[in-house]
Structure 1
């Protein structure tokens, strides 16, 4: 059987590496919540991180739906230059008790719309910051079903929920995992808001009084990227090794 030439071997190896990178790229381009976890019962600030994954159009609108099965009494948005934010509320079947006060409605959706001439361009991302609380003490996670709209009319629906034991869905919804506060510490990841702030929910008052936790650098996307890099390096290393062996074999035969 005729063997491949050194040049053809290297070409095949590099093509395989490029294919791996191309396949791995879209898998890491999800809309996510950062940081990805917070303490049950407390307040926190998170960023909805939105990458633009369309090579021909920019993102011009983001709609984040908040779960009403675990409503949040205090929801505030941080002003973002170039974007207009609107907040929708829904009446609750059962009032929430927050600092001794009844809260009868909660934010159900936040929409950011780009001003004229503004967009998340191809190859870029944007973070949309929100403070939330008090987080439920009886839930392990909060799912934020999200719609990402492009200037060409395309809409990507990040609404699929992951299930244990099954592969990650193609368009997973952003998820904030909730964990029990460490023993001996008060519930909450940040300072407690006042009763009036908890009942507000409009999110037009600028930066929140709660401090945001440090960003989670060890995200799933980062792990996938590092895995892909390892695969690519291995493929290229194998190709270089094959070329070296062939050159040595050719030199000894002459």
Structure 2
């Protein structure tokens, strides 16, 4: 009977752990951008990773909205077998300069629709790759609001903005964090101090070769001396053996 409280306690702990796992599972199964960061002003390729959260339905469509407050002049999708990608463009209120040219429109939405027989089934995920650029230099992040459609008609809207200092929303929008490009500068003194010039490399190689040669020569000499010593010892044992045989014959 004394074990009953212990069993109850263990049951409570297990139930609590199961609850934590159950809560953590859905929380981590977001539509995300992979990798989650890129360099400002550059081009990058990212994957929109879509996990299937339903136990009974399958994902058959993904819509990703691109922010027009920071338009991207170049957007390209990577062909994905079993899925058809449709790209929509919108006219910009203010043209942007890209490589010296005015760009008056930009991609506003990409929609991937599953072909017949294709789906993201329960327990599976799919990645949709896109090439983007040039990335803006006046913001630290870009949010891509996404809509995930299931074959039972359910639509999950991944559109909530994550705000600093506040808990993550239930359906956060995929976010790409942008980092500043490293400042262009000449080689630092520290870098110069570690730079090896061809002449120095040649001298070092010669020194190393010379050292190796000396080491090999020394090793050969040592082995030679050892051989002589072993020979002398062997000869000594041979002489002693002959003397013992002679003494035995004389007696």
- TM-score for both structures, normalised by structure 2: 0.71
What secondary structure sits across from 1:130 in the alignment? strand
Q: 1:3, CA displacement in angstroms?
A: 7.2
Deviates more, 1:25-34 or 1:14-23: 14-23
Q: Which residue of 2 aligns with 1:135?
A: 135
In 1, distance between residues paired with 2:131 and 2:174? 15
**Pairs within 5 Å for 1:187-226:** none
Q: Alpha-carbon deviations, 1:8-28, whole Å to 9, x = none?
A: 333332222111111111110
Are residue 150 (structure 1) and residue 154 (structure 2) matched?
no
Aligned-residue Cα RMSD (Å) equals: 1.4
CA deviations 1:53-101 (Å, max 9, x no partner) are 0111000000000000000000000000000000000011111211122
Partner residue in 2 for 1:121: 121
Q: In structure 1, the residue corresponding to 2:4 is in which secondary structure?
A: coil
Aligned residues: 184
Which gives a bigger RCO, structure 1 or 2 (Cα 8 Å, sep 6+)? 1
Q: CA deviation at 1:126?
A: 0.4
Matched residue of 1:7: which SS? Answer: helix
Mapped to 2, the partners of 1:161 and 1:6 lie a distance apart of 45
Corresponding position of 2:224: none
Secondary structure class of the residue paired with 2:10:
helix
Establish whether residue 30 from structure 1 lines up as the match of residue 48 from structure 2: no
Partner of 2:92: 92
**Which structure has the bigger radius of gyration?**
2
- 1:4 aligned counterpart, secondary structure: helix
Give the corresponding residue for 1:81: 81
Partners of 1:71 and 1:22 in 2: how far apart?
A: 39
The equivalent residue for 1:20 is 20
How far off its partner does 1:108 sit?
0.2
CA shift for structure 1 position 5:
4.0
- Spell out structure 1 runs of 4+ moving beyond 6 A: none
Question: Hey, what's the Cα distance between the residues in 2 that align with 1:93 and 1:12?
Answer: 59
The answer for the alignment partner of 1:69 in structure 2 is: 69
d(CA) in 1 for partners of 2:24 and 2:164? 22
Q: Gaps spanning 5+ residues in structure 1: where?
A: 186-254
The answer for unaligned runs of 5 or more in structure 2 is 186-251
Tell me, in whole angstroms, the C-alpha distance in 1 between the residues paired with 2:64 and 2:32. Answer: 11
Q: C-alpha offsets along residues 202-233 of structure 1, whole Å, 9 cap, x if unaligned?
A: xxxxxxxxxxxxxxxxxxxxxxxxxxxxxxxx
State the secondary structure of the residue aligned to 1:152.
coil
Structure 2: distance between partners of 1:177 and 1:149: 26
Matched, 1:49 2:62: no
